[in-house]
Chain A
Amino acid sequence: MDRPTSTAINKATEYDKLQQILDKVRDLKQSLANFFTEYEHGQPSWPTILDQMNVLSSQITTLRTSVRHILPLLRTNSIMPMCLSPENDLTVEQLTERRLSIFNHDFMPQLLRTKNLPEIEERERLLNTNLTTNNNNNSNPMGRSMPAPNEIHTRVQELNLYLDHVTALLRQTKDVTDKSEKQFDLQRFTNQSDTKRLLDAMNYGIGLKAPDTSSSPITTNEQANMNQQMSTQPPRQQAPTLRIKTVSKSNR
């Protein structure tokens, strides 16, 4: 699709789009060339072939999509060959990378053709008719006959059933795993009020000073439960005289 200078397209954006397509074509050519060089070194391995085919198919697909996008533009523009000469044309040669050196009236129709070759047309016609008839066709990749409409219906129902089954399974596992995660996240391992009470008890003794029934005096002002009896004995708050008894006991 190397076009000689076409006078119809002047705007920059369209030119850019064309350039993009041109780049894609070049990439495609390059990958094709790579593919063929692989064959020169002997039969390449199947994975290599697959890789190359992958690249080629993706490139062709992108090319097709970009051409499809630019198609309205192309339809509004038409190309007219302005000059045909039977002599070598260096510019043309350069543009086509030495594949075409003469732009004469033999080659020009081939280049600007818009209709398929007859063989291609025949093949396409066959393909299109096979989609609507029940004929055996080798181009069908499964190698089986095209099923009747009611067979299609049953097949579709079967597939739907399988799909429902699979989605149900997936949903179940999702629920189970999600729930376990959420359960763990929502779990509370500490109780704030308990923590507070424990810390108070351990550090300051709050809450542990239960009212006791013995006669020894305990008067505190700090605790919450103030319902203990005030001892009649005055608490020994003054520093008492130290009475250190030394008892000669055998200590353990």
Chain B
Amino acid sequence: MKALDKKLLRDLRHIWTQVLAVALVMAAGVATILIAIGAHRSLDGTRNVYYERYRFADVFTSATRAPVSVVERILRIPGVSIAEGRIVKPVLLDIEGMSEPASGLAISLPPGRQPHLNALFMRSGRLPKADAGFEVVISESFAEAHRFTAGSKFKALLNGRKRELKVTGIALSPEYIYALGPGEFLPDDRRFGVLWMAEETMEAAFDLDGAINNVTIKLLKGASQPAVIAAVDRLLARYGGLGAYGRKDQASHEFLDSELQELEAMRNVLPPIFMIVTAFLVNMIMSRIIALEREQIGLLKAVGYSRSGIAWHYIKFVLCISAVGIMIGYGLGQWLGRGLTRIYAEFFRYPFLIFDSSTDIFLAAAAISATAGLAGASGSVWQAATLPAAVAMRPPAPVAYSSLFSRHLKVITAFNQVTRMTLRHMVRKPLRAGGTLLGIALSLSVLISSLFAFDSIDFMIDTLYFRTDRQHATLSFADDRHPRALQEAAHLPGVMRAEPARAIPARIRNGNKSRRIAVIGKPRNADMSLVVDLDIRPVKLPRQGLVISDKLASLLDATTGQYVTLELLDGKRRSVEVIVSAKVRSYIGLLAAMDLDALNEIAGDGPRISSVSLAIDTNRTDALYEKVKALPAVASITLQRVSLALFRDTLAQNIAMMMTVYTSLGVIIAFGVAYNSARIQLSERARELASLRVLGFTRQEVARILLNELAILTALALPLGWLGGYGLAWLTAQGLDTEVHRIPFIIDRDTYAWASVVLVAAVAVSALIVRLRINKLDLIAVLKTRD
């Protein structure tokens, strides 16, 4: 090995703790890149392969009842490559050992074969037969939740008649990678399952002989999706078509999209922070090293080492630090990536999940980190390379402390000697002091942006369950009913109050912007299921006009007071202009609501309701469930209590994982910055401190002098970090703001406080480690060396 390389390795070993501290920050950056991009690719790539292999449809639509022949006509629409008709019906499930009814979605399968579109991945068992009773293939998550296997049996209410279904197989479908029950926004494996049954069985059970109520379509390459959708809608209009939609509006696909969007946001926010801090830390270390090695550099030049040779020597130094960081980052990324994959595996049902660990991301992450390190070192390396050899041979001139500072800032005389020393020192190295301050502030910001999720979720729970949907349960009908169904519901056992609602699928349009939504009609004097304004106060729905959530408003570019077009896809399928009378808040999906009577008026099919909110006597729920399980009209019942528990559980789990990761990241930054800053100060001021020790200062006092600066910088960093945390939390909230969901941007004062406590603790620990080194300060050696 070259002598110069030996020097390199020994120098690295000499400051290994500092190297490690920087490497950890860099590793965090590499890991976040690997996770965010890797997971993004895994999710996206796996989905694409899955879609491709199992022929996920491009366009979906349903109708009340259409003749099978309509499929032929759809096939003739230009741009359509495959069209397949089927029957899809919500069913209520009665499962042994479960008092509350579960919901199922029954989907027909063509006789004896896989469908052309949305083929099933059979985990086990076989496809159902038509003539062997009520055979079903069930979705895997549902099967797992109930430990169903081929041969298991459970009951379902098919078109008002209770039937015993026999499981013949367990399957996954590209249509239900993310499987949401009706009215839910998180998957509940116990309470929702997809059931595939033979076409013939379903035709018979639902009186749909020779008819279908759902069509899936595959487009030709280059076909115009809007054109096909329009043509399909025209064809199905008279069969009660509910409007065709593309993958973008398909629930499972849409949710996966939103997940991808979140990962993108993570990728855009975190890695840059780590890279900035990395660059700064490398800068701090390298400037100190080069200051310390001035004479060595001069010597190397004098004996004939070239500028580039010397530059390369220090570049290698940085590359070594980077290599350590990249290695740790790689390990960390793999490990955390696996954790994330586990979370995905729980939510998303894929037959296979490839965690993409392709080398190109790794190389890119490595290149980015090394670049950040080199960028940080560039100034120092340049300085080393251009240091004139002759100048380097002289010992450095005594540092010129800024006299400006003491002259112009009279305040300084007000401080004691120690503080004065600290302040002068800080002013002499403004870049380092500033960088340290910034680094600590950034770390605090990351901590705040991780902890704020708690506040946000608390607020969201309060809003969702205690301010908007305050009912105990929601009963949804398979088809819209006459309002008398409300009275029937009110007389169910245990029901204390009942409140109607109607949901009509519609397209809402403003100019060329449109969205497919469900318009919700609620009574003006609603007391259970409410709409809240932007300040989360209950809104009394206007007699006329529509209220829409601010997210929908911004997607449509619509403002209060203007008219938007509502194309109802049910009832008389009218297209009407309605005024947007207010913007309201909603955290899940896209909300458009109006007065129930006004909605029925424009729907034009007489008074109808599609669901009922219930207040129930919790002592009598079992009786209620028992009754509901036998009600033919009911498609599903959702229970707020169960839904809230699920919400808490799921988020608690996810947030706990994210929090652990983010908090560790924040602590790593704090530690890396504080430790390096203190170590470098110790190196710079070793002589001064040793002199003080010789003069009779205690270790305690000397330590205080050294750590004073860190303490002052940390104190100054707090407000900056709070501000940055606010901004970072805002960015995080933005990242979670998708069409599927968004989170309230709320940061409690406690969060600022806790984040600050964690930060101060991290800084204190690094200070303590440096403090231990002061104990080892070798007075004689330090005084002997020329600084």
Bound pair: A and B?
no
> A interface vs B, CB < 8 Å?
none
> B interface vs A, CB < 8 Å?
none
